[in-house]
Amino acid sequence: MSQRTEKSKEKPKESAESKAKPTAGAAEAEAHGYRIGDPGAFARNMVQVSVQSQRLLRDFAKRQAGKAGTEPMDPLNITGTFMELLRGMVADPGKIMEAQFQLWREYMGLWERTARRMMGSNVEPVVAPSPGDKRFKDKDWQENQIFDFIKQSYLLTANWMQNTVAKVEGLDPKSKKRVEFYTKQFADAIAPTNFVLTNPEVLRATLQSNGENLVKGLNNLLEDLDRGEGQLSIRQSADAFRIGENIATAPGKVVFRNELIELLQFDPATKEVYERPLLIFPPWINKFYILDLRPENSFIRWASAQGYTVFVVSWVNPDRRLAQKGFEDYMRDGIFTALDAVEKATGQKKINTIGYCIGGTLLSATLAYMAAVGDDRVNSATFFAAQADFSEAGDLQVFIDDVQLEALEQQMNNAGGVLEGKKMATTFNMLRANDLIWSFVVSNYLLGKEPAPFDLLYWNSDTTRMPEATHLFYLRQFYKNNCLSTGKMVLGGEKLDLSKVTIPIYLQSAKEDHIAPYRSVYKSTRLFKGPIRFIIAGSGHIAGVINPPSAKKYQYWTNDKLPATVEAWQAGSTEHLGSWWPDWDQWLSKLSGKKIPARKPGDGKLKVLGDAPGDYVKVKAQ
């Protein structure tokens, strides 16, 4: 056999060997876990995903067909918002062209740096996530060149979109805020973290589990859609909590009940208590047990341990029968009735109060009404993250315009006069979409995980309904028209004037609160005319309030002076580590009278009706 023939026979062997060897890219992919474990199992799971996806689309189409004509076409007025944006952009096309060229230049810079990195050079990224962005924590977003390029491309695009719309001129401030908000919602939705092939963690899990994660994720999605009756109701916490058993367990009794409230009186934790009782009005948008999640972070237990006789209003979860209960009803049958009941239970006419969020807004309006009619039963008022002036009321303002309010009224009418809890939950979740929506889309639906038990998120998902009359009054009179702070609001035939409120006031706000921003809360220092203490706590709307001293977390700022602006207040403020609760206790204890033998529920003129946390808090809403 010739030498040439022998060589020709060897070539196929070498070629086959070379084909068997993985390329450098394939080797790197395998090293990082991007390899299918069992092709057969993967194929079977992909068939199941296809079948489940078809069922999902079929069920969704069926449910949407059933809703045709019963829901507003554009309840959030997104079309109107972006039509205004388009008109602003058309008015100055030069700026849009310049913005497009700027994006092109940034992309060129990214390509150049990526090429240099592939050649082995160490290069700084063109753009990096913000420090608080948790989406890109997987190591491959930094170490893998492909995913790093995807990440930076997305960040460049997202930043460009938001910066471009922010610079469009000719929009009124409210329209501009809505445009910026919905642009960010869109940017968050198209993040590469939200898709299988562009999220390294999800892609690894899909290949390593042979697609089992996607099968489980689709099942989770179908269950959430079934629970929400066609509307996505994302499960944020495992259903591991039972109200009154392992959550909301502070010992106490129900001592009063009407159709709007149950009044809870909690057992004393000390042998002596302050003479003046403490009455708390939580928001009815959520349930009261945010103040009593677990023993270690329960404000109710802590306040009882400081020697206060603690009463808490537990608002009813309203159904259609209560649809026309108005804001004045919540004042009379809520606050006034509770004040009467506490006086009967304790014999005390002067009562210290707390109002949280919308409960605080109701308390502010009620105090103005009481001042107008000469009712002096409230001895002091503390406000947790509560607003009275809504001129800078935070991100919720993007949902308040005539078109959206009319659509909301139509939805409530169609639902029998109430706003279903799941719709309110969606609104609040949108304010922190990456944390409260997209992180669960990735975890529950793409990774196929079950949510972990988390008391705060369980409470967040335990929604309540809103009665039509009260909710529309609140949105129009406070958020839209800011009537209370401007002296235009009328309740019970009385024109409300907050400057007539002269009792001691404690205003708590939080640095990162996106629902009741601290600069909005500070405006109340110019409205009330009695002695006022204002503080800013660390964290946000919930953790800024629920921060027990034992946790040794966050901080708070104080300033005994109240200058004209919150910026001036901050410049002269003092930072303190830990919880603000002891500061409040020091303030309130001086207003609470002498110490007397501890009161127990049922000692006074009110009979015990049952154990805390009562019945109203256990009523579920969709």
Whole-angstrom distance, CA of residue 353 vs CA of residue 351: 6
Contact residues for 144 (Cβ-Cβ < 8 A; gap 6+):
28, 32, 200
Q: Name 49's Cβ contacts closer than 8 Å, sequence gap at least 6.
A: 211, 214, 215, 218
- Length of the chain as a residue count: 622
The DSSP code for 447 is S
DSSP H or E run through 266: strand 261-266
First to last CA, the chain: 84
Nearest Cα to 314, choosing from 7, 618, 3?
A: 618
Alpha helices in 72-132 (DSSP H): 78-90, 93-118
The active-site residue, picked from 357, 436, 516, 543, is 357
Please return the burial class of 410, using the count of CB atoms within 10 Å of its CB with bins 0-12, 13-18 and 19+. middle
φ, ψ of residue 234 to 5 degrees: the values are -70, 130
The three-state secondary structure class of 510 is: strand
User: Is 357 known to be catalytic?
Assistant: yes
Q: Are 389 and 316 in contact (CB under 8 A)?
A: no
Query: Which 3 state secondary structure label does DSSP give 407?
Result: helix
Closest CA to 310 of 334, 277, 341, 281: 277
Residue appearing with tokens 């005319």: 529
Q: In what order do the strands lie in the sheet with 351-356?
A: 574-577, 555-558, 532-537, 505-510, 378-384, 351-356, 278-281, 310-315, 261-266, 252-257, 610-611
What is the maximum span of the chain, computed from C-alpha positions, in angstroms?
A: 119
Q: How far is CA 321 from the centre of its chain?
A: 28
Q: Three-state SS for 136? A: coil
Q: Is-contact 75 404, C-beta < 8 A? A: yes
Q: Whole-angstrom Cα distance, residue 573 to residue 561?
A: 9
- DSSP secondary structure of 174-193: HHHHHHHHHHHHHHHHT-GG
Amino acid type, 195: F
Question: Which residue carries 């010739």 as its tokens?
Answer: 2
Just list the catalytic residues.
Answer: 357
